[in-house]
Amino acid sequence: MKTTFLLLSFLFVIQPAKSQVKSPEPFGPLPTQKQVDWHEMEFYAFVHFSLNTFTNKEWGYGDESPELFNPTNLDVRQWARVVKQAGMKGIILVAKHHDGFCLWPSAYTERSVKNSPWEKGKGDLVKELAAACKEYDLKLGLYLSPWDRNHPQYGKPEYITYFRNQLKELLTNYGDVFEMWFDGANGGDGYYGGANEMRKINSLEYYNWDETYKLIYQTAPKTLVWGVGPSEARWIGNEEGRAGKTNWSLLRQKDELAGKVNYTEFVSGHEDGEKWVPGEADVSIRPGWFYHAVEDDKVRPLDEMVDIYYESIGRNANLLLNLPVDRRGLVNENDEVRLNELVATIKSDFKTELLAGSKVTADNVRGNSTEFAAKNVTDGNKNSYWATDDAVKTASVEFDFDKPTAINRVLLQEYIKLGQRVKAFSVEAKVDGQWKTVANETTIGYKRILRFDRVLASALKINITDSKASIVISNIQAYNAPTFVKSPEIQRDKNGTVTMKAEEGDVIYYTVNGKTPTIKSTLYKETFKYNKAVQIKAVAFNKEENISSAITTAKYGISKERWKVLSASSGDMNTVNRIIDGNPNTDWGFGNDSNKLPQEITIDMGAFIKIKGFTYFPQQVGNNLNLISHYEFYTSADNMKWTKQSEGEFSNIKNNPVEQVKMFGETKARYIRFVAVSSVTKAQTVSIAEINVVE
Ligand code: FUL
């Protein structure tokens, strides 16, 4: 009886104090509930699979026959299974890419699956995928390219009606669509119903986005719209899946729609943006967006995938990871293996949370109330948070451990329903009784994850050192991720000299016979010469912890030892060897006059070689890359009579400046000539990082 009374009076005392303290007022632009739900999805897949898969292109011109779409073993349930197993939350399918081919039987065009051999023209890929997503509890998103290089009326008002009709089809016939993706590539040359011409449009005006968005929201209010127009989420400004360390979910979208924002600003958003437009980082698991067999051994290395994860999801952006479905119609096994490795690494990094059992205190708690107490950041409830008094914009929260605890990751989340506030923060660890700063950072947002060298800490402290308004943090976690040994880098120069690099303290073992390297293989001590065709495989090894890296594989043809650049139509011949030095980070440009294209370069390979393609590595280093958009490639036996082996465009090179591979029928040649026909940016010199042949 007495205890009950005491308990009741205790509750009675606490209760009024709780309700007297008001919650913090929202600050600045806020996310809608739709956007909050979208943030919580974090990680989902992209699928590029269309005519390009069968024509081996990145951008179709618009004249390819629908009959080429002929997967032998298409299985969307396999896609869904792979995606689900990776813990991703949805799939965005490219329903129509720039060449205009539709993966659903649109009533408005003949250029679709209905005129392909797949399922005898009766198939509907969007429908099949929608069903598979439902079965695997995944959300479906769709990409509809505004640019259509096939449509005869592209550039005219009639096309806009067509575009909107297709939007309506996609948004009404397939259930909920969580995200509608509008790509920024708009206008250029194309087939356009046989006109074969250049059509330039102003993408801010041509599509009348306000009207288009109205239509979308009337038809599908649950759909979040990404990309061009007054969108609810933005591109992160690169196709490498990396957000800025500073990343605001805000954007000056009015300026953007007035053409006053350069896309390079997307990487960090705008601190003073007037609208909540969070970043989505898109990247393909391979160099290209569409499947190309030559990229089967070019799946991004595990190290890179792990970095991408930490630099997207760990930097307040969602990660949209592309799995280029292959010609069979399946997620390729090489991609699946890498994806699983990534997921396993991330899982083990975040295996055991370390702060939940600690003593949590803060130097300011809003109204001294339990409702906003510091320990809310470790309670696992996304709707509770630690908040400070209105006037308090700098404060610290401390976690004390019973015993020294090893830590090398910290994860933080603001309660974004009240706005993104934090401008700067630091992390300190108490090591041997001394506070030591382990990180100095800027924004947090929906989620921020920090990686730092392992510390053995008796306490951890997060100092918010600058904030737009009072502090509102919903979650802080810490982990001790296993040591990650980075795979070695392998490089071979023109003369066949091989150099390998690993992180300091790690050793490298390698093989040159295709076998898997182990600690019993050859130990790398210094550079060595290997000028024959070879596949080098190397592994780095951390002796202290007895851990190996993932394996790096590098494939080379005969070295370019005998190669000589014979002539170039302009440019400095003293440095021209950079294009054959085996190092993509050094480049060489045609002379300043090279805006007068075409320009050409002729190489003597020193011997007859059987080749079936060539590669052009565009400039990699620098801000304004001098990229070639159209090319011609010739071979010769005698440097007199030349045969054109290939010509065309380097599609999407501006956004994705990866090595460009162009294949042709096998031929024997000694001389090669590469012609830069036109450039991405006019009035700029064009350059080459590396030219190579495919043997
Ligand atoms: C780009 C497009 O041009 C590419 O082909 C790809 O679809 C990528 C996701 O967006 O800008």
- Could you report the per-residue pLDDT of 68-113, keeping only the tens digit for each? 999 999 999 999 999 999 999 999 999 999 999 999 999 999 999 9
Please work out whether the CB of residue 392 comes within 6 Å of at least one atom of ligand 1: no
* pLDDT reported for residue 2: 42
Contact between residue 554 and residue 530 where contact means Cβ atoms under 8 Å apart: no
Q: In whole angstroms, what is the distance from residue 647 CA to residue 61 CA?
A: 13
CATH superfamily ID and name for 564-694: Galactose-binding domain-like (2.60.120.260)
| Closest residue CA from atom 10 of ligand 1 | 183
Of the pLDDT bands very low, low, confident and very high (cuts 50, 70, 90), residue 19 is: low
Q: What is the pTM of this model?
A: 0.92
Contact between residue 170 and residue 95 where contact means Cβ atoms under 8 Å apart: yes
Place of tokens 């929906």: 446
DSSP 366: G
| Closest residue CA from atom 6 of ligand 1 | 289
Place of tokens 């009606």: 161
Of the chain, the end-to-end C-alpha distance in Å amounts to 90
Which amino acid, 545? E
Length of the chain: 695
Which amino acid, 416? I
DSSP calls for 47-114? E--SHHHHHT-SS--S---GGG---SS--HHHHHHHHHHTT--EEEEEEE-TT--BSS--TT-SSBGG
The arrangement of secondary structure in 34-349, i.e. its CATH architecture, is Alpha-Beta Barrel (3.20)
Q: Which atom of ligand 1 is nearest to the CA of 290?
A: 5
| Closest residue CA from atom 4 of ligand 1 | 652
Residues contacting residue 470 through CB under 8 Å, at least 6 positions apart: 24, 27, 366, 387, 388, 389, 390, 391, 392, 393, 421
Q: Which atom of ligand 1 is nearest to the CA of 184?
A: 11
Q: What is the mean pLDDT of the chain?
A: 94
- CA 147 to mean position of chain CA atoms: 22
Which amino acid, 293? A
Q: How remote is the CA of residue 184 from the centroid of ligand 1, in Å?
A: 8
Of the pLDDT bands very low, low, confident and very high (cuts 50, 70, 90), residue 595 is: low
Angle, helices 333-349 vs 76-85, to 10°: value is 20
Please work out whether the CB of residue 181 comes within 6 Å of at least one atom of ligand 1: no
Please work out whether the CB of residue 652 comes within 6 Å of at least one atom of ligand 1: yes
Q: In whole angstroms, what is the distance from residue 617 CA to residue 634 CA?
A: 17
Please work out whether the CB of residue 284 comes within 6 Å of at least one atom of ligand 1: no
Give CA separation, 572 vs 569, 575, 597, in Å. 10, 6, 17
Residue 10 has pLDDT above 50, yes or no: no
Q: In whole angstroms, what is the distance from residue 556 CA to residue 559 CA?
A: 7
Q: How remote is the CA of residue 552 from the centroid of ligand 1, in Å?
A: 28
Q: Which atom of ligand 1 is nearest to the CA of 143?
A: 7
Q: In whole angstroms, what is the distance from residue 388 CA to residue 372 CA?
A: 8
Residue 192 has pLDDT above 80, yes or no: yes
Give CA separation, 648 vs 189, 341, 588, 633, 695, in Å. 12, 37, 22, 9, 20
Residue 5 has pLDDT above 60, yes or no: no
Contact between residue 67 and residue 54 where contact means Cβ atoms under 8 Å apart: no
Contact between residue 21 and residue 372 where contact means Cβ atoms under 8 Å apart: yes
Q: Which atom of ligand 1 is nearest to the CA of 58?
A: 5
Of the pLDDT bands very low, low, confident and very high (cuts 50, 70, 90), residue 3 is: very low
Q: In whole angstroms, what is the distance from residue 153 CA to residue 191 CA?
A: 11
Q: What is the pLDDT of residues 631-666, one digit of tens each?
A: 999 999 999 999 999 999 999 998 889 899 999 999
User: Out of 11-15, 345-349, 450-454, 660-664, which region has the weakest mean confidence (pLDDT)?
Assistant: 11-15
User: Out of 136-150, 428-442, 563-577, 590-604, which region has the weakest mean confidence (pLDDT)?
Assistant: 590-604
Give CA separation, 226 vs 65, 157, 200, 537, in Å. 30, 23, 22, 41
Please work out whether the CB of residue 99 comes within 6 Å of at least one atom of ligand 1: no
Residues contacting residue 318 through CB under 8 Å, at least 6 positions apart: 38, 39, 41, 42, 43, 44, 233, 278, 279, 280, 281, 312
Rounded CA Rg of the chain: 28
Nearest to 413 by CA among 381, 441, 448: 448
Q: In whole angstroms, what is the distance from residue 573 CA to residue 603 CA?
A: 12
Q: In whole angstroms, what is the distance from residue 671 CA to residue 418 CA?
A: 65
Please work out whether the CB of residue 188 comes within 6 Å of at least one atom of ligand 1: no
Give CA separation, 230 vs 51, 59, 220, 256, 445, in Å. 30, 26, 16, 9, 21
Of the pLDDT bands very low, low, confident and very high (cuts 50, 70, 90), residue 591 is: confident
Residue 59 has pLDDT above 80, yes or no: yes
**35-51 average pLDDT score:** 98
DSSP 513: B
User: Out of 459-468, 641-650, 681-690, which region has the weakest mean confidence (pLDDT)?
Assistant: 681-690
Q: Where are the domains of the chain?
A: 34-349, 359-479, 489-556, 564-694
Q: How remote is the CA of residue 29 from the centroid of ligand 1, in Å?
A: 29
Please work out whether the CB of residue 145 comes within 6 Å of at least one atom of ligand 1: no
Q: In whole angstroms, what is the distance from residue 229 CA to residue 212 CA?
A: 9
Residue 444 has pLDDT above 80, yes or no: yes
* pLDDT reported for residue 621: 80
Residue 445 has pLDDT above 60, yes or no: yes
Q: What is the pLDDT of residues 33-42, one digit of tens each?
A: 999 999 999 9
**593-617 average pLDDT score:** 90
The yes-or-no answer to whether 489-556 and 564-694 have a common fold is no
Q: How remote is the CA of residue 98 from the centroid of ligand 1, in Å?
A: 9
Instruction: Please state whether beta strands 547-548 and 534-542 pair in parallel, antiparallel, or not at all (unpaired).
Output: antiparallel
Q: What is the pLDDT of residues 532-543, one digit of tens each?
A: 989 999 999 999
Q: What is the pLDDT of residues 102-147, one digit of tens each?
A: 999 999 999 999 999 999 999 999 999 999 999 999 999 999 999 9
Q: Which atom of ligand 1 is nearest to the CA of 322?
A: 9
Beta bridge pairs of residue 529: 497
CATH of domain 359-479: 2.60.120.260
* pLDDT reported for residue 250: 98
Residue 15 has pLDDT above 70, yes or no: no
Q: How remote is the CA of residue 269 from the centroid of ligand 1, in Å?
A: 21
Please work out whether the CB of residue 289 comes within 6 Å of at least one atom of ligand 1: yes
Q: Does domain 489-556 have CATH number 2.60.120?
A: no
Q: Which atom of ligand 1 is nearest to the CA of 46?
A: 9
Phi and psi dihedrals of 436, rounded to 5? Answer: -130, 130
Q: Which atom of ligand 1 is nearest to the CA of 97?
A: 7
Find the angle CA(48)-CA(53)-CA(59) to the nearest 5 degrees: 75
Q: What is the pLDDT of residues 367-425, one digit of tens each?
A: 999 999 999 999 999 999 999 999 999 999 999 999 999 999 999 999 999 999 999 99
Q: How remote is the CA of residue 151 from the centroid of ligand 1, in Å?
A: 18
Q: What percent of the chain has pLDDT over 70?
A: 96
Q: Higher-confidence residue: 625 or 121?
A: 121
Q: In whole angstroms, what is the distance from residue 46 CA to residue 28 CA?
A: 32
